[in-house]
Structure 1
Amino acid sequence: MTSHELSFASLPTEILQAIFEYLPPESLVNASIASKRLKSIADQPIVWRHYCRTQFRYWDTKHNIAGKFAGSLADVDWKALFVERNKTDRATTQLLNKVVSSQLDRIANIQEIANLGYDAKETLLRHYNVGDDAEDVLARRYYSNAVLERIHREMAIKVWKELGNGKPVDIERALGAYDMFTLSTSDGDFDNITACMDNLAKEVRKENPDFTSLSTRQQALTLASILRARDFNGVSDDAYQALRNNFIGIVLKSPDHESLPLISVAIYCCIAKRLGLDARPCGYPFHVYGLVFAPKDKTLDGKYLPSSQNAEYMYIDPFRSEMEVSEETLRSMLRDMGVPATNHSAFLRDASTRELVLRTAKNIMNSVQTIRRAEAGSYHGSTFHPPSWLSTYPDMDNAFYGTLWAMLILGVQADEAASVMTITTRRRQYLPYLCERFQQHFPWDVTLMEEYVIPLFYDLPEGHRLMQYVSAIHGSDRTPKPVVARSERTLHVKYKIGQVFQHRRYTYEGVITGWDTSCIAGDEWIRHMGVDRLTQGQEQSFYHVLVCDKSVRYVAEENIELIGEDFRPSAAMLKLAGRHFKRWDEKNRIFVSNIRDEYPDD
């Protein structure tokens, strides 16, 4: 054989395709220029479909990627799709670099990334997982996470908006929207939740090959038994208030699967639907049951039922057991609660998906309030003994923010029984709380406010104020920050941007993010905080500080005590600090400023 016959390019097409699939895309492009044959093979759709499948995990819904992977190879220009995703990757990186490096147009650049949709998630996760030695590690992690959360929130809000507009929305997706508000960089998005449900249904069929031959009643009880055998056993009384028990995605992926009754029944009904059962949640007072209907013209036990008779149904409580619950038992409990018999049917019917979302919002609010009381030490006087269920996961502020969005979008319904004034009054209850959290924690949600909130108040005073507020945020984002330079006039300003301290009186951990040569707060705040009773009064330096509990405060210089040499910022502070700082400088015991455009000398 000649040397040409033994060349790489002379290998069979199938082998070259297999080899190309192991090459990085960049190497494939380089190899393809060696000969016309290699280029022809490298351009094969099967190679680029493989790259699309292996290089990217997250896809925006506009691609319908599951349908494309399942369809014909020739129906999709796979190379063009891969190139499109690569462009998104580069655009996301360029925009994120701008977000990290400058305060100017930061919100606008975050919005541009958000406009790229779920395709940007791959890139954002890569930046979030940057090494600890990166020059801007804290800022890069903070803002990649912030943008990703912004994308997740919009996906959730769109689901609730569809539900509010009367479109059919699956229970798992409507409840999974709460997970999207707290997901951050973890797994557990809409697709993960659906996959978990699909897998559970497949396991039921695999382990019970005769499942379809069972009667509806037997199927309903069998499914409850199987789920409980897999530790879907509700939750113990001492962990009932745990925040995580309200989130369907967290419950599905957690080892113990602890959950509130509503989530237990929702999971049961979602899997039952996949198995051919007509199962729906029943919104009973203080509890949620499953309501399973027999097929048309059949009884629950599989016998013929004349069409003139009402359809049969049964109640089940997968939260507590795999046993059926009689309707008479439920009616008896309603009587014990003092519910008039004329109202029983309202509590024994199937609940709408919208009702489940709103009920979950109230459950989350109750958990948040309980946690806040616990953290305040109210359980044991002034000493705080955290209960075993108290957990920082999921993020409490994000969870509460999600409930406010849900209540604002779904908490009122323009039906004949509700006047415009009643609807407006209800929405007004949630608006101040939503705006407060938006202003403090989520200013990059400004376009979400424009698209989903302002239209609800468009012809009302709140709408005009919101438009002015949003316009001011955009204007501030486009305007360079005023420079606060050091001079002879500022010689008495003792501390610098990035220094970490503990409050002398309240002992909380904080970091300095700005300073004033004297107190510039309003008269009411000065009186309320007793500034004039301080030793140095209003004329001492005051500092804007970020506290490890996410709050932003204004602190007098005399109340600042810098950390000692053996103190390192807490994990909570390191996570938050990226909003203003690049990294922690261990040698100099200071956060490296990322806001030098505003404070150039610190």
Structure 2
Amino acid sequence: MIDSKDIPHLIKLLDDDSPVIQNKIITKLASFGSNLKPEIEKIPFHLSNRQKNLINRIFYQQKQIKLLQNWPRWFKCPNKFERLELALSILSDYLDEHEQQEVNLGSLLDGLCKEFQSRYFYQDCRLLAKFLFQDLKIKGDEENYYNPQNSNLKYVILQQKGIPISLAALYMLIGYRLGFNIEGCHFPGHFLAQVEYKGRIYFVDCFSSGQFINGKDILRLRRDVVGNLDAVFEERADIDTIVRRFLANLIRAYQIKKDEDNCQLFIKLFKDLEDHLIANENFSNITPEDIIKTQNLYFEVGNLIVHKRYGYRGIIVDVDSVCKATDLWYYSNQTQPNREQPWYHVLVHETNQVTYVAESNLDRDWSNGKVAHPLINYFFKVTDNGNYQRNENPWPETDF
């Protein structure tokens, strides 16, 4: 059996040029598990760059294993806010770049809660938002939005910045400690908190200094929910949805960093959570069409459109009554328009691209200009008056 006294000798052997020997040494060092790091810190000599890189690889693999082992722990926690905290604590321990395992997420939340109580004799959800996002100046990270650390709640507290969902989660978890019922709201493209304050429902934009927004004013924030505002008011983001959105944000962040290992790791966690929900029948068997009994389509197949944000022209080739893309596809996009509205497959003019676009992001193109696309002649017949008439060729199933 290998003794900890052998570690310095094993470390020196990492400089061997033979990959076979290196792998054997790595395996032996990894067998020390969590005891390896404190032993490494005791080594009296300076580590070479190769030794550091190989040891860091061991630590990274150990963190991955620990994350995968701990991940299912939060699935069956009975209290929803405690479930959220446990899930985000597990993620924070993995994302913590400085290995501050002695810094516990729960302790940080407790500390903020006590500080709020010491500052404010009278306490409510509005004062809590003021305390976090104005007094402490915890703010939205606009400069480095896709930094994976913005999904690490320990980082958010210590560095005082984050993204909409992590700031809202912070608000929710401290509110829970104080007895406030603060929910998440799956607002299109911008996660909000939702509270009842003085008998009225308010949305709280934690990314914008904890601003309280009533139902009418919310249109100033995002006008593309017009016509679906009632659905936004009624929707509560359950804990599983919140955690899935955290994971999707991390996947997107690591895609941008071109970190394939971490990207695949969080894709696995995302799929593991979906498998758990399916196995426990937490996914509804009701189809979106059952929920939305009637849906008036503003556009039809063959209509020419222009994208409101990006300005490109195109033609609608197929339509879904609601968004049928997977959560992974949906949350990986820069914006998330309301899913409970028609979504259109669009052939984009003068490209070979096909986009999938929410109705709220489109306007009619009344120019009647031609659309140039490789698939036009396959799906459409051009009539004598220049209109596009859809033929019988079926639109293929899309793998989102």
Change (3 A) 1:106 1:153: same
Distance in 2 between residues matched to 1:339 and 1:410, nearest whole Å: 32
Match of 1:222 among 122, 127, 133: 127
Q: Aligned equivalents of 2:85 and 2:139: distance in 1? A: 19
1:113 pairs with 16, 32, 47, which one?
32
How do 1:393-408 residues align onto structure 2 when only pairs under 5 Å count?
396=259, 399-408=262-271
Letter in 1 for 2:165: L
Corresponding residue of 1:200: 112
Is 1:173 paired with 2:83? Answer: no
Assess if the C-alpha contact under 8 Å between 2:26 and 2:54 holds in 1.
no
Deviation, 1:224, is 1.0
Of 230, 236, 245, which aligns to 2:150?
Answer: 245
- SS of 2:206's equivalent in the other structure is coil
Could you list the per-position Cα deviations for residues 159-199 of structure 1 after superposition, in whole angstroms to 9, with x for gaps in the alignment? Answer: 43133456655423312333333335x14448532222121
Query: 1 CA distance for matches of 2:168 and 2:241?
Result: 14
> Alpha-carbon deviation of 1:368?
3.2
Higher relative contact order (CA 8 A, sep 6+): 1
Secondary structure at 2:161's aligned position in 1? coil
Counterpart code for 2:235 = R
* Alignment match, 1:258: 161
- Displacement of 1:201 in angstroms is 1.3
Listed as ranges, the matches of 1:34-183 within 5 Å are: 94=6, 98=10, 101=13, 102-103=21-22, 105-106=24-25, 108-109=27-28, 112-114=31-33, 118=34, 120=35, 123-128=36-41, 130=43, 133-134=45-46, 137-138=48-49, 140-164=51-75, 169-183=82-96
Stretch deviating more after TM superposition (147-156 or 284-293) = 147-156
**Cα distance in structure 1, aligned partners of 2:55 and 2:272:** 27
1:98, distance to aligned residue in structure 2 (A): 4.8
- Are the equivalent residues in 2 in contact too, given 1:160–1:409 (CA < 8 A)? no
| Residue type of the alignment partner of 2:106 | T
Counterparts of residues 386-535 of structure 1 (less than 5 Å):
396=259, 399-412=262-275, 413-414=277-278, 415=281, 417=284
Instruction: Assess, with a 3 A threshold, how the Cα gap between structure 1 residues 96 and 314 changes in structure 2: closer, same or farther.
Output: farther
* Structure 1 position 357 matched with structure 2 position 276: no
Specify whether residues 353 and 191 from structure 1 end up closer, same or farther in structure 2 by C-alpha distance, changes over 3 A only. Answer: farther
- DSSP 3-state at the match of 1:239: coil
Instruction: Verify: 1:344 aligned to 2:228, yes or no.
Output: no
Q: CA deviation at 1:364?
A: 2.3
Partner secondary structure for residue 182 of structure 2: strand
Q: State the alpha-carbon separation in 2 of the partners of residues 342 and 92 from structure 1.
A: 63
Query: 3-state SS of the aligned residue for 2:65?
Result: helix
CA shift, 1:270, in A, is 1.6
Instruction: Give, in whole Å, the separation in 1 of the partners of 2:92 and 2:84.
Output: 13
Task: Quote the offset at 1:144 in angstroms.
Answer: 4.2
- Identify the residue that residue 235 of structure 1 maps to in structure 2: 141
Listed one character per residue, the Cα deviations across residues 25-70 of structure 1 (whole Å, up to 9, x for unaligned) are xxxxxxxxxxxxxxxxxxxxxxxxxxxxxxxxxxxxxxxxxxxxxx
CA contact (8 A) 1:96 1:110 kept: no
Q: How many pairs were matched up?
A: 275
Match of 1:573 in 2: none
**Structure having the higher Rg:** 1
> Of 277, 280, 289, which aligns to 2:192?
289
Residue 109 of structure 1: CA displacement? Answer: 3.5
Match of residue 440 from structure 1: none
Distance 1:104 1:368 in 2: 27
Distance 1:139 1:112, change over 3 A: same
Give the deviation of 1:406 after TM superposition: 1.7
Alpha-carbon spacing, 1:221–1:190, altered in 2? closer, same or farther (3 Å): farther
Determine if contact 2:108/2:157 at 8 Å carries over to the other structure. yes
Cα drift, residue 94 of structure 1 = 4.5
Q: What is the Cα deviation at residue 325 of structure 1?
A: 1.7
Question: In structure 2, how many angstroms separate the alpha carbons of the residues matched to 1:106 and 1:341?
Answer: 60
Structure 2 CA distance for aligned equivalents of residues 231 and 285 of structure 1: 25
Q: C-alpha displacement at 1:252, in angstroms? A: 1.9
Task: Describe the SS at the equivalent of 1:324.
Answer: strand
Extract unaligned runs of 5+ from structure 2. 14-20, 287-325, 330-400
Note the C-alpha offset of 1:200: 1.3
- Residues 417 and 410 (structure 1 numbering): CA distance in 2 closer, same or farther, change over 3 Å? same
Return the alpha-carbon distance in structure 2 between the equivalents of residues 417 and 292 of structure 1. Answer: 26
Task: Please tell me whether the aligned partners of residues 75 and 83 of structure 2 are also in contact (alpha carbons under 8 angstroms).
Answer: no
Identity %: 15
Q: Is the 8 A contact 1:265 1:288 kept in 2?
A: yes
Shift of 1:359: 0.9
Cα offset for 1:417? 5.0
- What is the TM-score when the length of structure 2 is the normalising length? 0.56
Could you tell me how far apart the structure 1 residues matched to 2:145 and 2:25 are?
41
Distance 1:205 1:397 in 2: 43
> Distance in 2 between the 1:109 and 1:291 partners?
51
1:227-270 CA-partner distances (Å, limit 9, x unpaired): 1221212123x43333332322222222xx22110011111112
Unaligned runs of 5+ in 1: 1-89, 294-299, 302-310, 373-395, 420-425, 430-602
Q: What SS does the aligned partner of 2:203 have? A: strand
Counterpart CA distance in 2 for 1:192 and 1:241 is 24
In 1: Cα distance, 2:147 partner to 2:72 partner: 28
Q: Secondary structure of 2:183's partner?
A: strand
Give the TM-score normalised by structure 1. 0.39
Query: Which structure features the higher share of helix residues?
Result: 1
The amino acid across from 1:194 in the alignment is G
